[in-house]
């Protein structure tokens, strides 16, 4: 998460994603890049395109929200739940396929 009014927070977010990616911590995980304070249009320091580009470079979802006025906060929570459900379904599918692979090698 970063603030659209603070270019330094965006830069830190980018550095954090780079570090996590280089360590392999993002592999197989759902990532959502969240821009906060979208109601402060006149103070914007980070464009929507910059946020989308960063999210795209790490295969992440992107959202702009405003906690201050509760704009799209519910959508963010629903998105997180959907990502967790998808992750759970993928893990369940892998577990079902794993015994088949093991039995084939025996």
Per-residue pLDDT, 102: 52
Residue with tokens 């998105």: 79
What is the mean pLDDT of each successive set of 10 residues along the chain, which is 106 residues long?
Answer: 96 96 90 94 95 94 92 90 79 65 50
- Nearest Cα neighbor of 33 from 16, 8, 5 is 16
Residue with tokens 């093991």: 102
Cβ distance 63 to 72 under 8 Å? yes
Two tokens at 61? 């979802």
Alpha-carbon gap, residue 17 to 23, rounded angstroms = 10
Cβ distance 60 to 31 under 8 Å? yes
Residue 80 lies inside a defined structural domain of this protein: yes
Domain count, the chain: 1
Residue 106 lies inside a defined structural domain of this protein: no
Per-residue pLDDT, 15: 97
Residue 74: domain span? 2-100
pTM of the model: 0.78
Residue 89 lies inside a defined structural domain of this protein: yes
- Residue 48 sits in a domain whose CATH number is 3.40.50.300
Residue 105 lies inside a defined structural domain of this protein: no
């Amino acid at each position: 998460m970063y603030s659209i009014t603070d270019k330094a927070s965006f830069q830190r977010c980018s550095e954090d994603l780079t570090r996590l990616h280089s360590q392999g911590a993002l592999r197989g995980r759902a990532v959502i890049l969240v821009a906060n304070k979208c109601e402060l249009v006149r103070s914007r320091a980070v464009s929507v395109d910059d946020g989308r580009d960063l999210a795209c470079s790490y295969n992440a979802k992107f959202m702009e929200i405003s906690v201050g006025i509760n704009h799209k906060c519910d959508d963010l929570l629903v998105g997180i739940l959907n990502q967790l459900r998808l992750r759970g379904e993928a893990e369940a599918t892998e577990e079902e396929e794993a015994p088949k692979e093991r039995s084939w090698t025996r």
